[in-house]
Structure 1
Amino acid sequence: MTAQPIAADATPAQWLKTALSPRKRIMALASGLVIADAVPAVGFAAGLGLAVGALPQGFSHALPGAALAVVSLLARGLLTQAANRVAARAARAVKGDLRRQALNGAFSSRLSDAETMTATHEGVEALDGHVSRFLPARTAAAVTPLLLIAATAVVSSFTAGILLFTLAPFVIGMALTGMAAGAESRRQFQALERLSGLFLDRIRALPAILAFQAETQQTAVIARASENLAQRTSKVLKIAFLSSAILEFFSALAVALVAVYCGFNLLKLLPFPAPEQLSLTRAFFLLALAPEVYAPMRRLAAAYHDRQAAEAAAPSLRQLTEDVGAAPARPPLPANAPAIAFRQVGVAYEAGAPVLSGFNLNIAPGATVALLGASGSGKSSLLHLFLGLAPLTEGEVEVGGVLLSDHPDLTAWIAWAGQSPVVVPGTLAENIALAWRGAPSGRVMEAAARAGFTGDLNRAIDERGGGLSGGERRRLGLARAFLKPAPILLLDEPTANLDAASEAAMRPVIRAAAEGRTTLIATHSDAVAEMADVVVRL
């Protein structure tokens, strides 16, 4: 099912209405079952009134009324159960639709990782109460009281007037509290997004936090964010409790007015001419039905927070699920090593000065370029441009006639070997094969041999690289580069922290890996740089 197009300037409420439209039939069924509860409510009040009115004539005369009341109660129970099940099905369907849209529309770059995580979990779950509780309650609150007041008017027009008049405070009270709760709910959801972002960023930076012994300081930062979220949540709950208290007060007051009128009418003690004379049966009918008039309003008040939570999450959900346009088709893999051209390239991260600015370089097809420079000069950042790990803030990079800004995902073109290759629990062969899933075992063995592995490829390796020396970890990255049929090779400090003998043994492997490929090597080693066709000092 697909939703209707959503206007760019749509409000959260309008976006929710359009986003939920594919499931409007099942939601309408849930609302209809809730409204149908009015029929057994009238039946219960009528049965109770008939039973009480017939008691003076004997217990047997009260049995028909009592039976009607019992049957009505059973019918209400069945209707409530059916309405809850259908509403739950509608909520599951809506959440499933949104999650599928998020996966198909693929997590647009307009949201950060933290916002994406919060929207896909907390935001989508916020729609559960909105669909399963608030929407049926809102429809029932608009229709059921009027139906019950109409039934009341058949017996007592004056009592129906009392009930109709006392509905006004409900509408005014819910409008006022709704406006206040809406802003607070949005601020609470934003605080939740910020806390999620803090957790995600701190988990990513955990090694650095431990290395700099910043655990206490970061704990304080997270504690402040958690306290801010708790305060926002408390404000939302205060408004919810206040609105419920106000509505309960007016509901009790309205029922009390009906009770006073019925009692004084039966006793003929009204201080004004009675517009009608009530019997005991009619009075009990009115007394039993009066609370039912306000029950849908009380349910709506209890579920009103679900609406505010859904509208608070709507902006993030909208950015997550709306169509961002078709992604450009990936360019085909070049048959030969491509040329690479850097034109006035600049790299700048969010914090700090630009790492690179105005960088120019032309690399011939199949050439090897060594990037030399001090730490922080931008060697790794140039390599990371091809992997989408560094932002291209200025200029352009052209790879084999393809602009990197138009096709930022060129990972299929690239074989990569970094300083610390990722290691997963498994065998050495399985770790090498991460570069090419499904590679024939013969190709894996050939890549391992070219990288210098002569031992058993089935030896076990843990997630920390246990069983591999520093040189073997470098060879693991190069073995993956040998295995992957990519025309570009990127090497980031392939001989860092190796002694002279190990580096000398590694250089022929690097030279072999670079054959037939356009290669960029970020290194501090002059010996490695001597193997390159071009040396660039940053």
Structure 2
Amino acid sequence: MSKRDMTAEALNSPDKPALWLREAGRPWARLNGLAAAVTVLDIVPAAGFAGGLAMAVSVAAASPASALPWLALAMASLAVRGLLALGAAAAGARAARAVKGQVRRGVAVDLFEGRRPGSAPMAAIAEGVDAIDGYYARFAPARLAATVSPLVAIAIIAVASPVAAAILLFTLIPFTAGMALAGVAAAGESRKQFAAMARLSGLFLDRIRGLPVVLAFQAEDAVTRDVARSSTDLALRTSRVLRIAFLSTGVLEFFSALSVALVAVYCGFNLLRLLPFPVPEQLDLGRALFVLALSPEVYAPIRRLAAAYHDRQAAEAAAPSLVAAPVTRTCSPARLGLAAPAVRFEHATISYGGGAPVVSAFDLDVRPGQIVALAGSSGSGKSSLLHLLLGLAPLDSGDVVVGGERLSAGGDFSGRIAWASQAPMIVPGTLRDNIALADRSASVQRITEAACRAGLSADLQRPLDERGGGLSGGELRRLALARAILKDAPLLLLDEPTANLDAGAERAMLSLIREAARGRTTLIATHSPAVMAIADRVVTL
């Protein structure tokens, strides 16, 4: 079983969201451990600050000058605490960024491979991935600190006052119980809130996609009511989460203030010798101030954990939408070699989403180096056959064999295919940058030669936007051919390379197609009789 399948199977356990989050963060456990260790170390300069402040106050009356070294210790401890906090935040942020990148790539792969139909993957990429940021950046480091740091602080306080340490240890019990109860109550509401957010995102995206249909059927009012209903549901669930969060914060603040107040009362009465019961210790001013200054640090890590607890709830609520779908078929790059391969379709059937087949039981043998034109009316499946070779269309039944490699056996031919579509993708950059997308390792000389062979005599440093502004339709097709020429691939696929071109531009494009097809096996989807004329064989679908 692959790691991806095991991760999906992990979600079937009772503790599935927490288990998935732990598995997702395992590759970066060192970063999380570093952030947690630095957070725990914060108690050391906290004790230094408390000790320096207590000693400075206790000796200041006798000799103000003798208080200066202790004040320096207190200030240095504050500076160290700031550096430790900065280091913990940086390590946690790096871990969160790494995990988010991995998870986002997994969701995107599932989306484009069709394992996540509908609008849910878009919501997962947008909101779901960001929801796990706080878990790794804040909650995971705070969890270890909340377990270790209070006990360390109580142990340090016990050196100065065992009774004060016992008071703090006793008050930790209701403090911890209150946080646990609040967390359980908020977890369910947080999951419902995230589900409502995902529903609203999906609903809004679906309605935007279907806006022409909505307008055509005059369903604006019904759509507005649906969106308003989902928005109200999200607002109500968000308010419930906030209500529980505020309530739990109030309970925790009450217990922490109560415990520090009890310690303060004890220290004050001990110093005044007014305790109504005997104790095995007698505090002086320095020890009492040290205990009072360090007592809030017992609860500070737990309060930080409580503040970050919502990050855990949000991450666990988002986890089911982020888990990778099980892979039913593994793909490996096919070793086609450099020679033009033979291509054979064996009863290949293509259908999308369980609908009627676009191509049914298609058979075709293409000899190595042959140019085959796929003709037929629009919707007959010409482009789908090309997309099948590229891995962009599903093979329902039958098989495709390219150079001895079978698609049904997990063959991935896309890396050995040169592809020229009707509307090539354009990225912001220069014309040279866009040609180089076909081969990132290509030299400037090779890119220039490919552009010249494709008939692109324009300035290769010309800037382009994402819409290809400044290039004509013919130039866009020449750009696609330049990429196909640049890519050292034995199989060439062309989709309507001369569509919407005038007769003169089409004649010029035909010579470029012959140039690009030289030494390769070529399949061309076309309606053009002129393109069919240069083909060795025409197959009508």
Q: Shorter-normalised TM-score: what interval? A: 0.7 to 0.9
Indicate the larger mover: 87-96 or 428-437. Answer: 428-437
Alignment partner, residue 388 of structure 1: 391
CA contact (8 A) 1:166 1:254 kept: yes
Query: Considering only CA atoms, is the larger Rg found in Structure 1 or Structure 2?
Result: 1
Give the distance between the partners of 1:363 and 1:242, measured in 2 at CA. 72
Q: Give, as a single letter, the amino acid of the residue that structure 2 aligns with 1:380.
A: S
Shifted more, 455-464 versus 472-481: the winner is: 455-464
Q: Does 1:346 align with 2:349?
A: yes
Residue 510 and residue 118 in structure 1: after superposition, are their counterparts in 2 closer, same or farther (change >3 A)?
Answer: same
The range that moved more, 392-401 or 63-72, is: 63-72
Structure 1 unmatched runs, 5+: 1-5, 52-58
Other-structure match for 1:337 = 340
1:522 aligns with 2:525: yes
1:254 maps to a residue whose letter is S
Aligned position for 2:42: 34
Task: Name the SS of the counterpart of 1:474 in structure 2.
Answer: helix
8 Å Cα contact 2:371/2:523 also seen in 1: yes
Aligned to 2:75: 74
Corresponding position of 2:161: 152
Moved more, 460-469 or 411-420: 460-469
Q: CA deviation at 1:524?
A: 2.6
Provide the rounded CA distance (Å) in 2 between the counterparts of 1:435 and 1:509. Answer: 17
- Give the aligned residue type for 1:298: R
Candidates 174, 179, 187, aligned match of 2:184: 179
Alignment size in residue pairs: 512
Match of 1:367 among 349, 367, 370: 370
CA, structure 1 residues 343+20, in 2 after alignment: closer, same or farther (shift >3 Å)? same
Percent pairwise identity: 47
What residue number does 1:143 align with?
A: 152
Unpaired stretches in structure 2, ≥5 consecutive residues = 1-5, 11-15
Q: CA deviation at 1:419?
A: 1.7
- For 2:136, give the aligned amino acid: L
1:493 maps to amino acid: E
The answer on whether the counterparts of 1:266 and 1:277 sit within 8 Å (CA) in structure 2 is no
Question: Match of 2:309?
Answer: 304
Distance 1:447 1:228, change over 3 A: same
1:257-296 mapped onto 2 (5 Å cutoff): 257-258=262-263, 274-276=277-279, 281=284, 285=289, 291-296=296-301
Which residue of 1 is the match for residue 249 of structure 2?
Answer: 244
What code does the residue aligned with 2:365 have? N
Partners of 2:322 and 2:106 in 1: CA distance = 12
Give the stretch that moved more between structures: 86-95 or 243-252: 86-95
Matched residue, 1:492: 495
Q: What is the CA distance between 1:402 and its match in structure 2? A: 1.0
**Contact 2:333–2:415 (8 Å) recurs in 1:** no
Q: What TM-score do the two structures reach when normalised by structure 2?
A: 0.72
- Per-residue CA distance 1:384-416 (angstroms, 9 max, x = gap): 122232233333221111123455542343222
- Alpha-carbon deviation of 1:382? 1.3
2:539 alignment partner, SS class:
strand
Q: Tell me: CA distance 1:150–1:427, structure 2 relative to 1, closer, same or farther (3 Å).
A: closer
| Cα shift at 1:484 | 3.8
Structure 1 equivalent of residue 414 of structure 2: 411
Cα RMSD of the aligned pairs, angstroms, is 5.1
- What residue identity is the alignment partner of 1:39? A
SS in 2 for 1:360: strand
Q: How far off is 1:506 after superposition?
A: 4.3
Give distance in 2, aligned partners of 1:28 and 1:508: 65
The superposition leaves residues 86-112 of structure 1 with CA deviations (integer Å, 9 ceiling, x where unpaired) of: 423532553476478779999754785
Please tell me whether the aligned partners of residues 33 and 141 of structure 2 are also in contact (alpha carbons under 8 angstroms).
no
Q: Which range moves more in the overlay, 275-284 or 173-182? A: 275-284
The 5-angstrom pairing of residues 335-484 of structure 1 reads 335-350=338-353, 353-406=356-409, 409-423=412-426, 434-436=437-439, 438=442, 441=445, 444-445=448-449, 448-449=452-453, 451=454, 453=455, 460=462, 462-463=464-465, 464-465=467-468, 468-484=471-487
Task: Report 1:120-269 matches (<5 A).
Answer: 123-124=132-133, 126-131=135-140, 133-145=142-154, 147-148=156-157, 151-153=160-162, 157=163, 161-185=166-190, 234-258=239-263
Query: What is the CA deviation profile of residues 196-220 of structure 1, one whole-angstrom value per residue up to 9, with x for unaligned ones?
Result: 88999999x7xx9799989x97999
Q: Is residue 53–residue 74 contact of structure 2 (8 Å, CA) maintained in 1? A: no
Please give the alpha-carbon distance, in whole angstroms, between the structure 1 residues aligned to 2:531 and 2:70: 92
Question: Aligned partners of 1:537 and 1:487: how far apart in 2?
Answer: 24
Deviations 1:212-251 (A, max 9, x none): 989x979999998887766665544433322111111222
Separation in 2 of the partners of 1:202 and 1:84?
Answer: 45
